[in-house]
Amino acid sequence: MPVKGNGLAEGIEIFPKHDELGPGEFGNAIRGPLGIHRGASRRYWFYGAEYDPERQMAYLKQLRKVSEEEMRRFIAGKTLPAEAVRRTLCPEPAGPRANSGRSEFRILEHVGKVRKVGRNYVTRCPSCAEAGHDRSGDNLAIRIDDPRFYKCWAGCTKEMIREAVGCPIRVRQEV
């Protein structure tokens, strides 16, 4: 079955989208009928009930609950499709940073095909793609003369983009 958000506009969504969570971090939740999606600015309804919050909640309350044991039996022997498995470690970056001796992150090593538009490369934003957005594949702009500078025109932050490619920005611990 196709998995939505891995370059495909249609298919199922897999939640949570995290393999593991660090201390103080939150994972993805399932989209519900009471919230409004921040990116799309619209509600996502459950099929099978009228499209208003009261009827949606009544629909959810009448559904049979699944026990932990039933869920374990349901997923026994199943694995995630290869395209849904996220890299948990960032591959070794290409070169040393000036003056620091540490390696630097290179966005071009983590995105697909790029095309040149003016002074930038444009490509699909990994964070948007993970969320099922950026169908035209041009939300992410990367400066040609200095690819350390990149921007998602849909509003994804660098932290979101780096997380989506499996290379989260490490937070310095104050001593």
| Among candidate residues 86, 115, 140, the one where a domain is terminated | 86
C-alpha dist (Å) from residue 28 to 54, 90, 139 = 24, 21, 22
CA separation for the pair 1, 121 (Å, rounded): 32
Same domain, 47 and 75: yes
126 contacts 136 by C-beta, under 8 angstroms: no
The single-letter DSSP state of residue 82 is: G
- What is the CA 98 to chain-centroid distance, rounded? 31
The pTM of this model reads: 0.44
The pLDDT confidence band at residue 143, using thresholds 50, 70 and 90, is very high
Nearest Cα residue to 86 out of 21, 29, 142, 137? 21
pLDDT given for residue 31 in this prediction: 57
141 contacts 65 by C-beta, under 8 angstroms: no
Q: What's the pLDDT tens digit per position in 144-169?
A: 998 889 999 989 999 999 988 888 88
Same domain, 75 and 99: no
The pLDDT confidence band at residue 94, using thresholds 50, 70 and 90, is very low
pLDDT given for residue 69 in this prediction: 92
Average pLDDT, the chain: 76
62 contacts 49 by C-beta, under 8 angstroms: no
For 48, other C-beta atoms within 10 Å of its C-beta total 11
Token pair recorded at residue 65: 């609950």
pLDDT given for residue 73 in this prediction: 92
Same domain, 79 and 110: no
| Among candidate residues 37, 68, 86, the one where a domain is terminated | 86
Domain range for residue 119?
Answer: 92-175
User: Which is higher by pLDDT, 144 or 94?
Assistant: 144
| Helix/strand/coil for 6 | coil
51 contacts 38 by C-beta, under 8 angstroms: no
Q: How many domains does the chain have?
A: 2
Same domain, 49 and 107: no
Residues 17-33: what's their mean pLDDT? 60
